[in-house]
Amino acid sequence: MEALRASREIMAPADWQRIDFISDLHLAEDTPKGFNAWRGYLLNTTADAVFILGDLFEAWVGDDARFEGFEARGAAVLSAAAADRKLFFMVGNRDFLLGAEMLAACSVEALPDPTALCAFDQRVLLTHGDAWCLGDLPYQAFRAQVRNPAWQAQVLARPLAERRLMARSLRSESERAATEHGGVWFDVDAPTALRAMDENNAPTLVHGHTHRPTTEALAPGRVRHVLSDWTLDHGRDHNHAPRAEVMRFEDGRWTRLAPADAVASGT
Ligand code: MN
């Protein structure tokens, strides 16, 4: 496992009043409701900065995919939104191939995992979450492979069309594996999370990945906010109603908002 100490620390400028966090939107060609909700939210949020903490996209096959189709529409939304507020992006376990080229083209700043954020006189630790799901041994082996720079270079050297096919078969493989797990799911390892919070002197942790949105104390005085997934298109595939949520940090207080409630109302 990688270091628990954040290699990057972001100091929120004093004039930031609101900071939003989203993750696990899993946007794709076949999630038009999610995409439209995300676009409406990101272009109009009243936040000074938005931290996208991984799995914005269901798959990402390389930054050279950004010139056409769904990826081009995603890039256009990021670019337009970045003109009016600061955008940060951390990769997740689905869009881990989204890289510096795409982010630079869209004026989005890359975040290492984990990253520390200082805002409203508080220290907050940010992670996608998959790296600390230590109980899922097959996934951790897969992760070690696909995060290897040599493996990534080899994959990115293949033709774009071939990579799109690969992504499709990986997706059906992960759906099959999820079914075979028979409802077993892996949470972030709590001792690891607490150690990371200690090492970064951050009493608050924000992560996504598990699709189990909650706010809870991992230990006295140490709180984690687990971000919601966005399931507006696939509600019936899940054991819950369609949902989408933005976590907002405003004047040192945390609130969960529907995307439509995070935007300027015009009143
Ligand atoms: Mn994830």
Q: How far is the CA of 131 from the centre of ligand 1 (A)?
A: 10
Q: What is the pLDDT of residue 236?
A: 57
Cβ pair 5, 197 in contact under 8 A: no
Q: How far is the CA of 225 from the centre of ligand 1 (A)?
A: 15
Please give the chain's pLDDT, 267 residues, in tens: 668 999 999 999 999 999 999 999 999 999 999 999 999 999 999 999 999 999 999 999 999 999 999 999 999 999 999 999 999 999 999 999 999 999 999 999 999 999 999 999 999 999 999 999 999 999 999 999 999 999 999 999 999 999 999 888 877 777 766 666 666 889 999 999 999 999 999 999 999 999 999 999 999 999 999 999 999 997 656 667 899 999 999 999 999 999 999 998 754
Cβ pair 21, 227 in contact under 8 A: yes
Q: How far is the CA of 126 from the centre of ligand 1 (A)?
A: 14
Tell me the per-residue pLDDT of 153-175, one tens digit each, with 9 for 90 and over: 999 999 999 999 988 887 777 77
Q: How far is the CA of 53 from the centre of ligand 1 (A)?
A: 9
What is this structure's pTM? 0.95
